[in-house]
Copies of this chain bind each other. A is one copy, B any other.
Amino acid sequence: MTYQLIFSALADPSRRHVFEQLRGGSRSVGELAQSLPISRPAVSQHVKVLAQAGLVDVQVRGRRSEVSARPDGLAVLREYVESYWSDVLGAFEAEITRQRDERHD
């Protein structure tokens, strides 16, 4: 459910570009739009999707909307990857052990 939102949010190149812009801190929607070859409304929609995925926070200040990366959302992805990573390494180790033990031919 949450993974769904996170992965499909980051699957789009424009949204990943937006996300990348936020590595160093917050940016306004207009600034984000200027860094992309698409319209501002498109960027606005992308930001909405990123926000729903929990990857981004939007803070309205005056007539500007400041968008920033949200550590909590990223943590979900991080933990998924770490968990999968350790499971796979475990499975690999088990497989190698199995192959070694099977050498009775």
Contact = CB atoms under 8 A, between A and B. Distances in A.
The SS class assigned to the A binding surface is helix
A89 B71 contact: yes
A33 interface: no
Copies in the complex: 2
Nearest to A79: B81
Nearest to A95: B25
Select the residue from A74, A85, A88 with max chain B CB neighbours within 10 A: A88
A95 B69 CA distance: 12
Contacts of A44: none
Contacts of A29: none
A64 interface: no
Contact of A74 (B8, B22, B25, B84): B84
